[in-house]
Amino acid sequence: MPNLSNEISNSIKDAYQKQQVLNISAGKTKQFYGRNINAKSLSLTEHAGIIEYEPTELYITARSGTPLAEIEQMVADHNQILPCEPPRFGDNATLGGTIACGLAGPRRVSAGNVRDCVLGTEIINGKGETLRFGGKVMKNVAGYDVSRLMCGALGTLGAIMSISIRLLPKPEKEETIAITIDCTTAIDKLNQWAKTPMPISASFYDGSELYIRLSSSESAIKACKKSIGGELINNHGSFWNGVKEQTHAFFKTDKPLWRISVPSNTRLLNINGDSVMEWNGALRWYSTNEDQKTVRTEAIKAGGHATLFKGGVTDQIFHPLPKVSFDLHKKLKQVFDPANILNPGKMFTEL
């Protein structure tokens, strides 16, 4: 696959000179995420290919346009996984888009966030300069941690060119059990279990059933099943895929979908609408017509924040930032993109 760094760099240099705003994208599977922007498209899809994969070193380096599916297949062949289990939301999902959106999947609770597994990135900033931060090794504290700053920045700080990701060995075995339980008890149980060394790698509560995925050796899973109880489910792979890719029945809704991130022990939120819960209770999804003020107030009360993930008409997708933080965001944007041409307005109106 081609290395299009120079072409992309030239396009951005050109745009910088002409003050031409760019909409950086690749597989367009997560276009719904963030604010709509009107700008010239700069696609990174063609800038693809795995640059280096060292199974024994536990990392892979790939260009941003590389399909996530290709990477996941490649590492699966060596019995490894991407720790954060990122959703694809479509066949064309790329590694670059995954990093730029920073969305983690069900394994977040046991294996960390997207940024937690990023080791290094190469980016092109808003002046067309190619910059490399981080590296390929897990322990690396030279310079500010710019590569992780790129995670979830929605391409507003630079076009991500390549990424090195830390990998994990695939668990020896995974099984999922379902328990019929009410919501409060589910929250209590999840937090109780989280205080034990049980190998719970994912959890999902749909309003009546609590699903627990165990990832470990066969014998360890057996012991945990005994102490947790519940019933083993079939086809658990496709079940978790449904949760991750939001093809689960709950997500098939016409109402706006809110993603609410709260401390895991938070009680039931006072929001009308349907809801499900992931990440030991730390991630709550609501499909609701409640106005954004109500939703956000509830999230703040719980010590968290709310994102209008899909649908709705509000201009404010992400939780508004306090002034001191927002001022720093604007200054950082200036550092990387002085002409304000990279995905401007994708995150907040002024970013």
Partner 1 sequence: MPEPISTPDLANQFCKVVPKDAVLTRDEQLMPYECDALTAYRQLPRLALLPSSIEEIKAIVKICNEYQIPIVARGAGTSLSGGALPHKDGILLNLAKLSQILEIDTQNRTATVQPGVRNLAISEAAEPYGLYYAPDPSSQIACTIGGNIAENSGGVHCLKYGLTLHNILALKILTIEGEVLELGGKNLDSPGYDLLALMIGSEGMLGITLEVTVKLLPHPHDKKVMLAAFDDIQRAGDAVNGIISNGVIPAGLEMLDQLTIQATEMYCNPGYPSNAAAILICELDGFDEELETQVELVKEILNEHQAIEVRVAKDKQEAELLWLGRKASFPALGNLTPDYYCMDGTIPRKHLAHVLESISNLSKKHGLRVANVFHAGDGNLHPVILYDANISGELEIAEKLGGEILELCVTVGGTITGEHGVGVEKLNQMCVQFSEAEISTFHAIKAAFDEHELLNPGKAIPTLHRCAELGAMHVHQGKLPHPDLPRF
Q: Which parts of 3-22 interact with partner 1 (CB under 8 A)?
A: none
Which 290-319 positions form the footprint of partner 1 (CB under 8 A)?
303-305, 307, 318-319
Cβ distance to partner 1 smaller for residue 256 or 304: 304
Cβ distance to partner 1 smaller for residue 43 or 175: 175
Q: What is the 3-state secondary structure (H, E, C) of the chain?
A: CCCCHHHHHHHHHHHHHHCCCEEEECCCCCCCCCCCCCCEEEECCCCCCEEEEEHHHCEEEEECCCEHHHHHHHHHCCCEECCCCCCCCCCCCEHHHHHHHCCCCCCHHHHCCCHHHEEEEEEECCCCCEEEEECCCCCCCCCCCHHHHCCCCCCCCCEEEEEEEECEECCCEEEEEEEECCHHHHHHHHHHHHCCCCCEEEEEECCCEEEEEEEECHHHHHHHHHHHCCEECCCHHHHHHHHHCCCCHHHCCCCCEEEEECCCCCCCCCCCCEEEEEHHHCEEEEECCCCHHHHHHHHHHCCCEEEEEECCCCCCCCCCCCHHHHHHHHHHHHHHCCCCCECCCCCCCCC
Determine if 324 is a binding residue for partner 1 (CB under 8 A).
yes
| Binds partner 1 (CB under 8 A): choice among 56, 249, 252, 313 | 56
Please, what is the minimum distance in Å from the beta carbon of residue 182 to partner 1? Answer: 18
| Binds partner 1 (CB under 8 A): choice among 5, 261, 294, 340 | 261
Cβ distance to partner 1 smaller for residue 28 or 115: 115
Distance CA 23, CA 43 (A): 8
Please, what is the minimum distance in Å from the beta carbon of residue 73 to partner 1? Answer: 18
Cβ distance to partner 1 smaller for residue 163 or 262: 262
| Binds partner 1 (CB under 8 A): choice among 11, 64, 125, 275 | 125
Of 6-14, 176-184, 285-293, 321-329, the window that binds partner 1 (rule: CB under 8 A) is: 321-329
| Residue 194 CB neighbours (<10 A) | 18
CB-count exposure of residue 192 (10 Å: 0-12, 13-18, 19+)? exposed
Which 325-344 positions form the footprint of partner 1 (CB under 8 A)?
325-326, 328-329, 331-332, 334-336
For residue 220, CA distances in Å to 171, 197, 279 come to 12, 11, 21
Cβ distance to partner 1 smaller for residue 45 or 156: 156
Please, what is the minimum distance in Å from the beta carbon of residue 301 to partner 1? Answer: 12
Per-residue binding string, partner 1, 63-102, x by CB under 8 A, is ---------------xx----------------------x
Cβ distance to partner 1 smaller for residue 67 or 187: 187
- State both tokens at 301: 């009360």
Cβ distance to partner 1 smaller for residue 6 or 180: 6
| Binds partner 1 (CB under 8 A): choice among 283, 308, 341, 342 | 283
Cβ distance to partner 1 smaller for residue 45 or 162: 162
The number of residues that bind partner 1 (CB under 8 A) is: 85
Which 132-151 positions form the footprint of partner 1 (CB under 8 A)?
132-133, 135-146, 148-149, 151
- Contact predicate 115/204, CB 8 Å: no
| Binds partner 1 (CB under 8 A): choice among 263, 268, 315, 350 | 263
Which 150-209 positions form the footprint of partner 1 (CB under 8 A)?
151-153, 157, 168-170, 172, 191, 194-199
Cβ distance to partner 1 smaller for residue 191 or 253: 191
Distance CA 334, CA 51 (A): 31
Cβ distance to partner 1 smaller for residue 43 or 50: 50
